[in-house]
């Protein structure tokens, strides 16, 4: 879908996706699991009467982060293997820190920016064939690049979202309602109508040559 509309989504489409995906993560987290591989490829659109609904898929790296009875959180560790897709992986994930809810949100923040702009500062580094070197270089780039610099030209809510995720404590519960409302307020300020008319629902926006190729 991203490819057939030219590689980026409109602000309206990204905000509708954001509303859905934050809720999906909240549901997963409330059921005691973290995803650990948030990326565009792991979100799909429904079909037919369900074509407006975003679905989250691929739970191969999902893990339980707390006990379902006692709600005791798994212990903090700093010796973990890198798990997830490097382009969207959280900083903590890069440096071997045990992932928690905050890391799913940070990855989601990178995904929003990618969908809106078509790039991330470390995108070209993912073309490196040496996996370990690629992951190391991406981590360094993420650490050294101020969030505001790659959010320049887009609404500040996206940099607020990423900063919020990065500043959460290891066991802290994210305020999902705050994040949804922040994007909802932006949606209203822009005068958008939540009619689920995503970019790919308009024939005029579809690149037929991409589909043919």
CA 75 to centroid of chain Cα atoms: 24
Rounded-to-integer distance, Cα 8 and Cα 113, Å? 10
CA dist 81 → 77, 88, 90 (Å): 11, 16, 13
Which tens digit of pLDDT belongs to each residue from 63-83? 999 999 999 999 999 999 999
Which pTM value belongs to this model? 0.95
Q: What is the mean pLDDT of residues 170-185?
A: 98
pLDDT at 14: 98
- Which residues make Cβ contacts (< 8 Å) with residue 190, sequence separation at least 6? 11, 12, 15
Which tens digit of pLDDT belongs to each residue from 18-28? 999 999 999 99
Rounded-to-integer distance, Cα 116 and Cα 125, Å? 19
Rounded-to-integer distance, Cα 171 and Cα 200, Å? 38
Residues catalogued as catalytic? 37
The answer, yes or no, to whether residue 12 has pLDDT greater than 70, is yes
């Amino acid at each position: 879908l991203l490819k057939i509309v030219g590689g980026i989504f409109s602000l309206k489409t990204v905000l509708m996706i954001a509303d859905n995906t934050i809720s999906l993560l909240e549901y997963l987290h409330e059921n005691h699991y973290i995803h650990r591989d948030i990326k565009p490829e792991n979100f799909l659109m429904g079909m037919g009467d369900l074509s407006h609904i975003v679905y989250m898929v691929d739970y191969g790296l999902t893990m339980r982060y707390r006990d379902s009875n006692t709600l005791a959180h798994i212990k903090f560790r700093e010796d973990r293997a890198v798990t997830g897709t490097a382009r969207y992986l959280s900083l903590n994930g890069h440096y071997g820190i045990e992932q928690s809810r905050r890391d799913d949100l940070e990855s989601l923040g990178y995904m929003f920016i990618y969908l809106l702009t078509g790039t991330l500062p470390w995108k070209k580094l993912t073309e490196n064939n040496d996996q370990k070197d690629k992951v190391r270089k991406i981590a360094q780039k993420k650490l050294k690049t101020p969030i505001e610099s790659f959010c320049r030209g887009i609404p500040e809510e996206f940099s607020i979202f990423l900063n919020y995720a990065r500043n959460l404590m290891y066991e802290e519960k994210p305020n999902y309602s705050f994040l949804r409302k922040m994007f909802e307020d932006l949606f209203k300020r822009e005068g958008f109508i939540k009619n689920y008319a995503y970019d790919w629902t308009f024939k005029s926006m579809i690149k037929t040559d991409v589909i043919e190729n």
